[in-house]
Structure 1
Amino acid sequence: MGLVLAGRRRLPPLLLALLLACKPYSPCDEEAACVSPSTSSGEATVSGESSSGESSSGDGSSSSGSTAVDSGSDAGTNGQTDSTDSTGTTSTGAPAVCGDGDVDPGEECDDGNTDDADACPPTCLRDRWVFVTAATHKPDFGGAEGADSLCRQYALQSGRADDTWKSFKAWVSDSTTDIRDRLTPGVLARYVRTDGVVVARGVDQFFSGTLEASISVDEFGAPQEGGVITGTRPDGTAVPGSLHCDDWTFVGDQLSLHYGVITATDEAWTMPSDMDFNPTACGASWRLYCIEGA
């Protein structure tokens, strides 16, 4: 029997030692999953995995907060989502619309309508000018670049243009370069004569063999007729095997050139197929087609 202290029976030393050595019962002895609080993020770890919805409350019970479900979308504070394009740029506004009255990126004009007959067509790209020169030239104008320079000069002299017309190109090919490679590719703007008549709806129509209207009006708006130096087939490539008047630096009957008919809208506008007359000698004077670039 043990000793009594302060009215209570003292346990025998052997029994006290046995009780202190026993491990208290825990649900972990029977459960595979035990919950232990995380010291860094306040999250609970279950069987070695992180539970994002619950945390230990310190008394062995879990907090009642609910777990947010990731739906794969990035929601804003007002419940709306922002769209992200392929470049990673987030856009919260409506897409640009031609005809809304605002000149948006990628547009050159926007008059608030989609009327095809006014100065700003439904593409919202401003019209480009195209004309045949009032003056004629012998074919020694200094190559394709010399022809381009003449077109820019005539555009400025007409009073219809300013220094922004520096991108004019002459519809001329030579032995090394096709005109289709000298024009700005992919432009969807309309090409109009100086009297406002549409000649082509996009630069690619010049390579199709058919125009909307003939390029028979000069830079001043006056009608012209006759022939024009081109050296170019209907698809916009140089006539093969031609010396093009020594690449537009020679005058004389020893060499020849290919020309177009100003009043034509079919393939003859750049090169008639009648080989009895085309090509012809490099001795005469001709006009040039001039087309505004980008």
Structure 2
Amino acid sequence: MNLNQIDLNLFMTFEAIYTHGNLTLAARHLNVTQPAVSNALARLRERLDDPLFIHAGKRMNPTPMAQRMIGPVRQALRLLLTGISAEEDFDPLTSEKVMRIAIGDIGETILLPRLVERLRQLAPLMTIQAFQVPRRSIPRRLSLGEIDFAVDIPLLANSQLIHSRLMSDQQVCVVGQNHPLAGKAELSLDDYLSLTHILVSSRPRGGGLVDLELGKVGVSRSIAVRLQHYQSAFHMIEQSSLALTAPLQLTRMYNCRTFPLPFAAPNLELQLYWHISTDQTEAGKWLRDQIFSVI
């Protein structure tokens, strides 16, 4: 089929329906009426000879053909948008760009304060929006331009994403200054296993990196509390006999006692991710330079 037989605007409607799973929400996103979306979908169905979406309750589920189409369609729309909106003479001093970054607890605590301070000096009109998104949605959100960057642990390879290591930090055991073991010179493995621990994780279940390593030698630690953020964990160990395993850079921000882990554990590594379509834009290159310079 030749593309000149299809109104290319139909692919924008297709992408909106796929993203929102609902004609009303797609129409709202496109700022058109629901009948207009229904009509566009009907025309695309006729051209492609496939229903594309099947009603299942209040949601429209994509057919196998729609699932095959969505990646190339999103890439094409993203590249087109980038080409139209590219700033040939990007000037950070006058740019009013909103930089949207998906970032977790560690990156938000270590990276963002430095980055905000740098942008206030070099790009005073820019603003930053930071939030957490589910890891599995990062490639899609980058491809749609909903976020400009993501900071996360190493992910599976994706041909549409470019990444570079942002930071690598060793993990240490942390207790409060008044903890019974705070006066020791070092912790043994038995000491570590005798502690009651806090686990910080954005996931609702499963252990962390250290739990995987402990499992390799046939032991496990006692976890009494599971939290989403390190900040609350550090405050908790100040007022309890609990222990925490955390990146070394974070511990320097709190009044606590740190010990090297008494077993081999990998460093916590964070990568910076961005979409291939923004790799050569002036704004994208400049912002990446600022992120890497402050870390």
Instruction: Return the TM-score normalized by structure 2.
Output: 0.26
More helix by share: 2
Q: Which has the larger radius of gyration?
A: 1
Instruction: Return the TM-score normalized by structure 1.
Output: 0.26
> Which of structures 1 and 2 has the larger relative contact order (alpha carbons within 8 angstroms, sep 6+)?
2
